[in-house]
Structure 1
Amino acid sequence: MVMHPAMLDVAFQTLFVALAYPASGQVTLALLPSHIDRVRVSPLLPKRSEDGEVRADFESWEMKPNVTSLIGDLNVYDTVSGQTLAQVEGLALNCGRAGLLARQAYVR
C-alpha cells in the first residue's frame, strides 16, 4: 500500500493550526514547504475500506515559529487501528520571497 501524497499535504496543513487557527490573523503570509529532515512511512499501511476512504488522525507540534517561517513535527495515525501511518520530523515552512518583500514593505 502506498500513502497518497494528498494525505501528507493535509498533514502538512495541520502545522498551521498548531501555530494559529485561521481567524486569529497570526498567519498572514503563504508558507511553503522548503525542507524535511526525516519522513517515516509504515510498511504496513492498512488497506482502504470498501468505499475507498482512508480515515486518519493527525498530531502536529510547532518547534520554531517566527514571522516568516515555521518548523514542526507531525504524526499521522489510522483512525480505526490507531497505528502510526507516517511521521514527519523537521518540516520547515517558509514564506516565498515575494511574501517576505511584501511583509517588509508593510512593516515599514
Structure 2
Amino acid sequence: MQTRNAISWIKEEITRSISVSLIIYILIRAPISDAYPIFAQQGYENPREATGRIVCANCHLANKPVDIEVPQTVLPDTVFEAVVRIPYDMQIKQVLANGKKGALNVGAVLILPGRK
C-alpha cells in the first residue's frame, strides 16, 4: 500500500515539475515574430498563414545585388518613386502552394529614415 502511495506521489511530483517548467518556458521565451526580419516583425504579429506556411519565407531566403533608382532630393510630404531592379534568371521556378512550378517570388524592402 505504501509503495503504491509513493509511486503515485512521485508521478504527481514529476507531472507538477513538467507543468511548471513548461509554463515558465512559455512565459519567458521571446515572441516568435522576433525571429523574423524587421519588416516581417512590423507587418505580421504572427508570420504564418492560416495554412501554417511562413508568410515571409520568400523574402529572406537569399541576398541578391540590386539596382535602385531614387531621386537625389525629396521634399518633405511629397510622393516619390523608387525603382528597384533585381537581376535574376527568369528560367528559375519555385514550387507554388498547389505543388506546381511557377514564377519565382522576388521582392525588396526599402527602409527610409524617419522624420527628425
Tell me if TM exceeds 0.5. no
More helix by share: 2
TM-score normalised by length of structure 1:
0.25
Higher relative contact order (CA 8 A, sep 6+): 1
More strand by share: 1
TM-score normalised by length of structure 2:
0.24
